Amino acid sequence: MSKTFHAQILTPEGSLFEGDVEGVQVPGADGNFLMLYNHAPIVSTLGVGRIVIKKEDGSEIIYAVSGGFVEMNDNKLTLLAEKAEESSEIDVEEAKKLRDDAKERLRDVKNDREKAEKDLAVAQNKLKIAR
């Protein structure tokens, strides 16, 4: 029997996931890392990337995430995401438009370059995960 822990993913819009899992991989600020049963306590910021939840039955749920925080303590994981979208729910056409818009804003030096770069990274991440 596999060892599981409780995981919860929250966004400003509400709860995206809650349940017992075998593992959760997240895009930490310094790279991806995987949390399993009895992981050492940790608090980390999240970057743009993907969250992979491995459920008890071996299936996986994948989310595109645009940043946030994760805490793992005493076999309880809480992930607070700025925005997160399940891979099957990503609107590819909308993500392409967001990507193209961000690229256009990057061409104009008067625009907020940092915001445009993050928007571009978020759109490209969605497209990558949706495939």
CATH 3.40.190.10, applies to 5-86: no
Residue 15 has pLDDT above 60, yes or no: yes
CA distances from 33 to 49, 86, 113, 130 (A): 12, 19, 29, 21
Residue 8 has pLDDT above 60, yes or no: yes
Dump pLDDT digits (tens) for 40-83.
999 999 999 999 999 999 999 999 999 999 999 999 999 999 99
pLDDT of the residue at 131: 75
Percentage of the chain exceeding pLDDT 90: 66
Helix (H/G/I), strand (E/B), else coil: 124: helix
CA distances from 61 to 53, 57, 80 (A): 5, 11, 17
User: How much is the pTM?
Assistant: 0.84
Residue 109 has pLDDT above 70, yes or no: no
- Per domain, the residue ranges of the chain are 5-86, 91-130
Residues 2 and 59: beta-carbon distance below 8 Å:
no
Alpha-carbon span 125 to 61, nearest angstrom: 16
